[in-house]
Amino acid sequence: MNRHDLKTIIYAEKTKEENNKYRHKICVCCGASCISSGSEEVMKKLQEEIKTRGLENEVEVVPTGCMGPCNQGPLMKFLPEYNIYQKIDCSNISAIVQSQLTEKKPIEDLLLFADSREKPFLDAQEDPFFKKQMKIALRNCGHINPERIEDYLVHNGYQALDKVLFEMSPEEVIAEIKQSRLRGRGGAGYPTGFKWETVYKYVSDQKYVICNGDEGDPGAFMDRSVLEGNPHRVLEGMAIAGYAVGASKGYAYIRGEYPLAIKRFELAIKQARKMGLLGNNILGTSFSFDIEVRIGAGAFVCGEETALIASIEGKRGTPRPRPPFPAESGLWGKPTLINNVESFAAISPIINNGGEWYSEIGTPKSAGTKVFALAGKIKYSGLIEVPMGTTLREIVFDIGGGMQNDADFKAAQTGGPSGGCIPAEHLDVKMDYESLVSLGSIMGSGGLIIMDKSSDMVDVARYFMEFCMDESCGKCVPCRVGTRMMHDLLQKICDNKGTQIDLNRLEELAVYVKETSLCGLGGSAPNPLLSTLRHFRQEYENRIVKHD
Amino acid sequence: MKSGTAVHTKELSKTDPRVKLIAAKMKKENYKPDALIEILHTAQNAYGYLPKEVLAYITKALHLPPSRVYSTVTFYHFFSLKSKGEHTCLVCTGTACYVKGAQAILNEIEKKLGLKAGQVSADDKLGVQVARCIGACGLAPAVVLDDEVQAKVSPDEIIKKINIKIGTV
């Protein structure tokens, strides 16, 4: 397929959409979380209901990716009214359809958050949960059918790829990404444009692009939702990256625990190949690029780039010392670009709207938006996307609706096992890379777990240390032995048997492990311990056996 | 599968559909050693775990040293060298589930069914495992019972559901 054919298809699809024969569109959330709550059954019942009423020609039923408020699932959205129904019980479907489509008014008692707000918002976009958000990476998640490439094409899909192939040189693409000030969304926050430029500069007969979808942090499901809800966006981002750095082959490394994400991404690859958007001579140009999926086999350390590369090569996923960085010598010794799923998802809007547009969102040092997986003891948990610099208070109390059972907020855990806990006195912290580091935590990939006073912070530190101990690959001593020693000491304190000497030793060990470990896993393993010690030291002191 | 000693295992039946599946996958991957993990995925999906003779078969077909295959299998949590049980109960211990009481669920399973994480009942009916995070944090605490996610479960509920599965009720 060449450029002209693509334009014809998009035009045809758009005309179809504009002369929409359907008066209504009903979206049913088919993200993994809603499926677990029974959305496939809802989808089936809804289709039957529409058929019984003879409305097939007026109502379009679309299975979509994640809509956001995951603990309220299964979710169903009526467009254009934007009425969202929560916790759908199949026995209510008939009544909902009757009320929405025949009587033209929503059933308020069944709307989103009806059971927890005084009055639900009829137009869900007005609800603080959505109103405070800004969706760029998640833009079409929850609106389009992730299993149809045509749905993506209608919503400006592959326009950015078309633009770079016909109107921009690789240097210009890199300049645009640099201007956007996008930083790696996997956690470390390295400027994406510079990474692309480094790979671009190395001369090699073969280069690779890798998409890191090994979302290992417990309590994080951003990448999963993006891959499930809009796989083509990630695919397009990878292809643009391939063009910019001069790679012809890409790998998407996706966690084995995410079967639905794998299925949808593989389907997306197949569809894109069929349309000539992947493969040889994309859109009739000289640029060729193809993508293969690699399934992770459950090792947290594989989120580390050199370990991930080893895993793609079919080996044990152990990291190696850097330099050389993958940009110079990565997969099979060739220059390799590795970016996170969410970073790739941000690429096509940047190309379409310009780097300047993106750089103006967020804070001066952290541009753009960030997706968070909000969970724990909070009223409305789920997937959210906010501009960088939004305060933690806004996320917890405006978007998240406050604490569950109106308990007191105790701490927010960010960054998973590599991050730390933010106490109540810092609720007004801006969520950006630097502010979180200054509090002893990190942005991480975006897991955000809210805790109330029922969480024992010493045990939280022990929990994460146990995780790192189990996940340590064993290659370097500080991490292999250090995490075990720290875990045992934390266990001792949890059992009320620890002494001041143990606490001192813990602090000493934390510094050794942090500074001497080979990779980021060991290097950041002490973070939860150090941050709880910093903000909740009293809880440790209270546990310690005092000798008179 | 100790290195240096010959591997004595049963011969696999070439007509076994599971063997055919693995053979087809290896052919598709061109017997490339770097596709080892992909092939192991196929084998584990077919058998539910990785029997020794299957590993020996893959080792031979890919021309890899047994140590390389064994070290890869034991490195990744996903792969198992022994049967995971007829029914599996996978308790998510991700942070959100941990905060909302995953440990209480594990304690109850140990108390009522006598199984700790990683153990399989003597009759091979039930295996209990833990997951680092299944990414269903909005549904915490979550347990996956035979591939079906049980959302926001209490320890009592999950014991009841397990008992129904293994047919003791």
**Among the listed residues A24, A19, A17, A20, the one whose alpha carbon sits nearest the alpha carbon of residue A101:** A24
Residues A480-539 pLDDT 10s: 999 999 999 999 999 999 999 999 999 999 999 999 999 999 999 999 999 999 999 999
pLDDT of residue B169 exceeding 70, the answer is no
Residues of A with Cβ-Cβ distance to B88 under 8 angstroms = none
Probe site for chain B from A39, A66, A67, A71 (most B CB atoms < 10 A)? A71
d(CA B137, CA B130): 15
For helices A259-274 and A222-229, what crossing angle results, to 10°? Answer: 40
One-letter amino acid of A426 = H
Could you say which residues from 156 to 215 on chain A have a Cβ atom under 8 Å away from some Cβ of chain B? Answer: 215
| Binding-site residues on chain B for chain A (CB distance < 8 A) | 32-38, 40-41, 68, 71-72, 75-79, 93-96, 98-100, 131-140, 142, 149, 151-152
Contact A254, A361 (CB under 8 A): no
Gap from A6 CA to chain B (nearest CA, Å): 31
CA of B103: which chain A residue's CA is closest?
A463
Distance CA A488, CA A466 (A): 9
Residue B53 counted as domain residue: yes
Contact B77 A220 (CB under 8 A): no
Contact A215 B135 (CB under 8 A): yes
Over residues B85-89, the mean pLDDT reads 92
| Mean of per-residue pLDDT scores for chain A | 94
Domain boundary among B75, B99, B122: B75
Question: What proportion of chain A, given as a percentage, has pLDDT over 90?
Answer: 91
**A394: which DSSP letter?**
I
Strand order in the sheet with A290-295: A290-295, A249-254, A208-213, A336-340
- Are B67 and B108 contained in the same domain? no
Residue A447 near residue A412 (C-beta atoms within 8 A): no
Q: How far apart are CA A510 and CA A502, in angstroms?
A: 12
Residue B100 is part of a domain; what is its CATH number?
3.40.30.10
Together in a domain, B69 and B97: no
Among chain A residues, CA nearest to B74: A316
Rounded to whole angstroms, the Cα distance separating A24 from B110 reads: 51
Radius of gyration of chain B (CA): 18
- Give B-chain residues touching A375 at CB under 8 angstroms: 95-96, 137-138, 140
From the list A272, A312, A273, the residue with the least C-alpha distance to A294 is A312
- A284 vs A152, A280, A291, CA distance in Å? 21, 9, 18
Residue numbers in B near A315 (CB within 8 A): 36, 68, 72
For residue B50, the model assigns a pLDDT of 96
**CB distance A369 to A386 below 8 Å:** yes
What is the C-alpha to C-alpha distance for residues A371 and A346, in angstroms, rounded to an integer?
Answer: 11
Q: Following DSSP, what letter does each residue of A112-164 receive, concatenated?
A: TTTTTSSS--SSGGGSHHHHT---STTTTTTTS-TT-HHHHHHTTTTHHHHHH
Average pLDDT over residues B41-63: 95
Same domain, B99 and B47: no
Nearby residues of A399 by Cβ (< 8 Å), 6 or more positions away: A128, A129, A132, A133, A374, A380, A384, A386
Residue type, A106: P
Q: How many Cβ atoms are within 10 Å of A252's Cβ, its own excluded?
A: 27
> Phi then psi for A392, rounded to 5 degrees?
-60, -35
H-type alpha helices, B48-169? 52-61, 66-75, 95-99, 102-113, 155-166
Amino acid at B147: D
Q: How is domain A149-359 classified at the architecture level of CATH?
A: 3-Layer(aba) Sandwich (3.40)
Q: Is the pLDDT of residue B2 over 80?
A: no
Q: Are residues B141 and B99 in the same domain?
A: yes
Nearest to A314 among B36, B132, B138 (CB): B36
**For residue B2, is it within any domain?**
no
B chain contacts of residue A377, beta-carbon cutoff 8 Å: 99-100
Q: Choose from A380, A467, A468, A475 for mutation: most chain B CBs within 10 A.
A: A467
Residue B119 falls within a domain, yes or no? yes
The alpha-carbon gap from B160 to the nearest alpha carbon of chain A, in Å, equals 19
Residues B34, A313: C-beta atoms closer than 8 Å:
yes
Contact, A42 vs B155, CB < 8 A?
Answer: no
For residue B82, being part of any structural domain is answered with no
pLDDT, tens digit, 9 for 90 and up, residues A61-101: 999 999 999 999 899 999 989 999 999 999 999 999 999 99
pLDDT tens for each residue of A196-218: 999 999 999 999 999 999 998 88
Closest CA to A448 of A489, A404, A395: A395
Using the predicted structure, report yes or no on whether residue A312 has a pLDDT greater than 80.
yes
Structure tokens at A376: 């724990």
B37 with A217: Cβ contact below 8 A: no
Q: Is the dihedral of CA B19, B20, B21, B26 positive or negative?
A: positive
What DSSP letter does each residue of A206-257 carry, written as one string? Answer: --EEEEEE---STT--HHHHHHHH-HHHHHHHHHHHHHHHT--EEEEEE-TT
Tell me the residue range of the domain where B122 lies. 87-166
Tell the burial category of A119 from Cβ atoms under 10 Å away from its Cβ (0-12, 13-18, 19+). exposed
Describe the strand order of the beta sheet including A447-452 as a list of residue ranges.
A382-387, A369-376, A447-452, A409-414, A420-423
Q: What is the DSSP letter of A325?
A: P
What residues of chain A lie within 8 A of the CB of B143, using their CB? none
Q: pTM for this structure?
A: 0.94
- Asked whether the beta carbons of residue B94 and residue A219 sit closer than 8 angstroms, the reply is yes
User: Over 60: is that where the pLDDT of B6 sits?
Assistant: no
Q: Report how far residue A253's alpha carbon sits from residue B37's, in angstroms, rounded to the nearest whole number.
A: 12
For testing contact with chain A, the best of B137, B146, B147, B152 (most A CBs within 10 A): B137
Q: What is the pLDDT of residue B9?
A: 60
In angstroms, what separates the C-alpha of B93 from chain A's closest C-alpha? 8
Q: What is the mean pLDDT of residues A138-150?
A: 94
Residue of B nearest to A297 (CA): B78
Out of B32, B94, B149, closest to residue A36 by CB: B149
**Cβ contact A375–B149 (<8 Å):** no
Contact present, A224 and A257 (Cβ < 8 Å): no
CATH architecture classification, A22-125: 3-Layer(aba) Sandwich (3.40)
Note whether B52 and B117 are same-domain residues.
no
Give per-residue pLDDT as tens, B12-31. Answer: 888 899 999 999 999 999 99
Q: Are B96 and A381 a contacting pair at CB < 8 A?
A: yes
Last residue of a domain, one of B48, B75, B102: B75
CB < 8 Å to A466, chain B = none
Q: How far is the C-alpha of A288 from the C-alpha of A273, rounded, in Å? A: 11
- Whether A70 and B40 lie within 8 Å, measured CB to CB: no
Q: Is the domain A369-452 a CATH 3.40.50.720 member?
A: no
CB atoms within 10 A of CB A454: 11
Compare CB distances from A298 to B32, B34, B78 and report the shortest one's residue: B78
DSSP B42-67: HHHHHHSS--HHHHHHHHHHTT--HH
Compute the count of residue pairs across chains A and B with CB atoms less than 8 Å apart: 128
CA distance A226 to A156: 17
* A329-333: average pLDDT: 96
- Contact state of A416 with B95 under an 8 Å Cβ cutoff: yes
Nearest residue of A to residue B62 by CA position?
A314
The answer on pLDDT for B1 being more than 60 is no
User: Which of helix, strand or coil describes residue B140?
Assistant: coil
Residues B55-80: what's their mean pLDDT? 95
Q: What is the CATH number of domain A457-543?
A: 1.20.1440.230
DSSP codes, A494-525: HTT---HHHHHHHHHHHHHHHHH-SSHHHHHT
Per-residue pLDDT for A454 more than 70? Answer: yes
pLDDT for residue B168: 74
Looking at the complex, report in whole angstroms how far the Cα of residue B5 sits from the nearest Cα belonging to chain A: 22
Q: Where are the domains of chain A?
A: 22-125, 149-359, 369-452, 457-543
Could you tell me which of A444, A464, A447, A334 has the C-alpha nearest to residue A384?
Answer: A447
ipTM surpasses cut 0.90: no
Q: Is A324 on the interface with B (CB under 8 A)?
A: no
Chain A, window 213-232: residues with a beta carbon less than 8 angstroms from a chain B beta carbon: 215-221, 224
Domains held by chain B: number: 2
Amino acid at A219: G
